[in-house]
Chain A
Amino acid sequence: MSTVLGEARSYRLSWFALIFAALGSCVLLLIVAPLLALVLSSSLGELSQAAADAEVTQSIRLTLAAALAATIVCTLAGVPLSYVLARRKFFGKTALLAIIDLPIIIPHSAAGIALLTVIGRRSLLGSVTGGLMGSAAGIAVAMAFVSVPFLINAAHAGFLAVPERLEKAARSLGASPWRVFFTISLPMAWRDILSGMVLMWARGISEFGAVIIIAYHPMTTPVMVFQRFNDYGLAHARSVAVLLIIICVAIFVIVRFLARRPTQEAQNA
């Protein structure tokens, strides 16, 4: 098979291939170099020390749990929305899709301030709940706000990839819309939904700007990295950061592995 970058078989170098490869490498380097340098610069001793630090482990647990809670709640509410967006045509749909992307665009510290006006002590909601500032629930709300677009967009794309004719055929066979959704649409889109959940969860874990405005304490790990850097310097911040990165990458890899698409041969083996 020949590719744009040249004959795959002969590997003949051309200026085209060379320049594209060089440019691509620059981007990869931008991503990989700091991460690799960070991991390599921290010693095992530093890491085990951080892992034994109750403050650190508690903060990591809080971060993972708050992001997970935000992801699960948003999945329950967001998947139906994604389905409607993929299936129905209605007035204002384009505007709605743009609104869903808003949290990606606006600065996250501004998002935190915006959230305060809704869930802060003096807000309407806050007067009922006593305000969510400085609570795990508040942290989860901040994480949800900034990360939910990733879930909705992935699920939306997943449902769009399910041919509508399959659903129609199922309806004509006597299945209710509920049954069609749970036996056809959802099973066919679950990989995209899961990958959206992973993205949302990861984005939630890494959130700093909105979270720090809602809650400096209890301290999420990104906030702790910032605080330790400020108070004790690079070395103290580094080990916490590395620990979080290792945990996130491990979970990311495991979920990706579980949700991999079976190949055609495996399906018919």
Chain B
Amino acid sequence: MLELESLCKRLGLFTISDLNLRLNQGEYFVLLGPSGVGKTVLIEMVAGFMAPDAGRILCEGQDITTSPPEARDFAVVYQDYALFPHLTVAANVAYGLRARGVKSKQAAERVRDLTEKLNIAALLNRHTGALSGGEQQRVALARALAPRPRMLLLDEPLAAVDVGLRARLRHELRRIHQHTGTTFLHVTHDPDDALYLAERVGVMLGGHIRQIAAPEELFRAPSDADVAEFLGMRNIMTVDSASQGVCRAGGVEIHAALADESISHIWIKPEEILLSRQPFDSSARNQFRCMVEEWENSGPLLAVRISSGALRLTALVTYESFNKLGIDVGTELYCTFKSSAVHCF
């Protein structure tokens, strides 16, 4: 549906170079990357507000690289929703319809229809200043969807809201996408958005798309350690050698339930690593003597960095355990984790 061919853009400190991307009709595509990686610049180029230095943008086979934004038929939804403060909700939603010459009567019908579906019909005569975050998002989506654009471009639409609301809005977004069947291109820095919303995810690091995959696939098999780390995976280690059920990393033999010859990395969730003063018998296949290198607060838990030979791991423990074990720099402990806690890619 949308094709980006060898897009290049140099802007200040960062560059997008030779970026290729192909979006399917009707899919929810999430472009995931840390802030400052050029995601917004990409959206600006696709929307037509910025020209690429090189490369082409095609939509349904047509070259639209130099088309003005109003001719592209892509509606942008911004992080702060960019509602028009001098217009009512109804006029906001009708804006795109009126701009395309739809008669005011038909526009009003479409507005009523759409706002009823989005549960904002009661807000039509209000000004946008007094809307809650959730209402604002729905108005912004209604406004973007009203003229039936070929594609929706969502620039971090969930970044400005608090955690509880974010989950609700995510749910809403998915429902709306399923309902409309419009192609969504959503850029975000939050892996949870990708996991929950995307049919396919592109991970953008350092001006390149490193990996494109379905979210399950992405989290199961990140293409490299940078991608894995960005996705929130911790204790990532390069595997020296591996065979069925076991591998060597950092000079230590580690049991990994899913290991085979093809794997190159393993990672272990910090909360799945147990720390103890004494070795103990259990079904867990991995147990090492280790030493505490350092520790720091990590929200409601403490992150304890331990080393065992060349192996370096981070474990998360509660304050209670931390005190009970008397952890300090240099404390000698045992770390234990199950072979099923070792993830491979």
Inter-chain CA distance A37–B158, complex, in Å, is 61
| Complex contact A168–B49 (CB within 8 A) | yes
B337 at the interface (CB under 8 A from A): no
Are B129 and A267 in contact, with the CB atoms below 8 A? yes
CB-CB under 8 A from A3, the residues of chain B are: none
Tell whether A173 pairs with B143 under 8 Å between CB atoms, given A165-B78, A179-B99, A267-B127: yes
By the criterion of a CB under 8 Å from any partner CB, how many residues of chain B are at the interface? 31
A268 adjacent to B127 (CB under 8 Å) = yes
Q: With a CB–CB cut-off of 8 A, which chain A residues contact B69?
A: 168, 171-172
A-B contact count (CB 8 A): 71
Contacts A264-B129, A268-B130 known; A172 to B153 CB distance under 8 Å?
yes
Contacts of B95 in A (CB 8 A): 170, 173, 175, 183
B224-270 contacts to A, CB under 8 A, are none
B147: contacting residue among A173, A179, A267, CB under 8 A: A173
B61 CB, nearest partner CB in chain A, Å: 21
Report the minimal beta-carbon distance from A193 to chain B, rounded to whole angstroms.
14
Q: Please classify the interface of chain A as helix (H, G, I), strand (E, B), loop, or mixed, using the class held by over half of its residues.
A: helix
Of B81-89, B173-181, B190-198, B285-293, the one contacting chain A is B81-89
Q: Tell which of B75, B100, B126, B153 touches A268, judged by Cβ atoms closer than 8 Å.
A: B126
B55 to A: closest C-beta gap in Å: 21
Does A45 interact with chain B (Cβ within 8 Å)?
no
Bound form: Cα–Cα A173–B85 in Å: 16
Q: Are A173 and B96 in contact (CB under 8 A)?
A: yes
B5-17 near A? 1/0 per residue, CB < 8 Å: 0000000000000
Asked if A94 is an interface residue, CB under 8 A from chain B, the answer is no
Mask, A167-204, CB within 8 Å of B = 1, is 01111111110010001100110000000000000000
Within 8 A of B (CB), among A74-92: none
Q: What residues of chain B lie closer than 8 Å to A184, measured between beta carbons? A: 84
On chain A, the number of residues with a Cβ less than 8 Å from chain B's Cβ atoms is 20
Interface centre among B47, B69, B84 (most CB of A within 10 A): B69
Bound together, the chains give a CA A255 to CA B334 distance in angstroms of: 79
Docked Cα-Cα span, A169 to B69, in Å, equals: 10
Within 8 A of A (CB), among B27-67: 47-49
Q: Does B141 contact A (CB under 8 A)?
A: no
Q: A163 interface residue, CB < 8 Å from B? A: yes
The answer to whether B85 touches A172, judged by C-beta atoms less than 8 angstroms apart, is no
What is the bound-complex CA distance between A172 and B72, given in angstroms?
Answer: 8
What is the CB-to-nearest-CB distance from B78 to chain A, in angstroms, rounded to a whole number? 5
Q: Does A251 contact B (CB under 8 A)?
A: no
Chain A proximity of B104: nearest CB distance (Å): 14
Q: Check if A264 sits within 8 Å of B130, measured CB to CB.
A: yes
Knowing A165-B78, A175-B70, A268-B126 touch, does A170 contact B153 (C-beta < 8 A)?
Answer: no
The reply to whether B85 and A188 contact each other, CB–CB distance below 8 Å, is yes
Q: B135 on the interface (CB 8 Å rule)? A: no
Tell me, in angstroms, the Cα distance from A267 to B127 when the chains sit together: 7
A166 within 8 A of B: yes
Q: In the complex, A155→B96 CA distance in Å?
A: 27
B76 within 8 A of A: yes
Q: How far is the CA of A111 from the CA of B282 in the complex (A)?
A: 94
What is the CA–CA distance of A98 and B85 in the complex, to the nearest angstrom?
32
In the complex, whether B111 has a CB less than 8 A from a CB of chain A is: no
Contact B129 A165 (CB under 8 A): no
Given contacts A171-B70, A172-B47, A175-B70, contact A166 B147 (CB under 8 A): no
CA distance A257 to B340 in the complex (A): 73
**For A175, what are the chain B residues with a Cβ–Cβ distance below 8 Å?**
70, 95-96, 99
Bitwise, B123-136 to A at CB < 8 A (1) or not (0) is: 00011011000000
Q: Which of the residues B82, B127, B143, B149 comes within 8 Å of A168, measured between beta carbons?
A: B82
Is B3 an interface residue, CB under 8 A from the partner?
no
Q: A167 — nearest CB in chain B belongs to which residue?
A: B82
Interchain CB contact (< 8 A) of A170 among B68, B80, B84: B84
Instruction: List A contacts of B100 (CB < 8 A).
Output: 174
Contact check, B86 vs A173: say whether CB atoms are below 8 A apart.
Answer: no
Roughly how many angstroms separate A188 CA and B143 CA in the complex, as a whole number? 19
Residues of B near A183 (CB, < 8 A) are 95
**B209 contacts A by Cβ under 8 Å:** no
- Chosen A-B contacts, 6 in total, with CB atoms closer than 8 Å, are A165-B78, A173-B75, A173-B96, A173-B144, A174-B70, A184-B84
Which residues on B are within 8 Å of A, measured CB to CB? 47-49, 68-70, 72-78, 80, 82, 84-86, 95-96, 99-100, 126-127, 129-130, 143-144, 147, 149, 153
Q: Which 3 A-B residue pairs are closest in the complex by CB-CB distance?
A: A173-B96, A175-B99, A171-B69
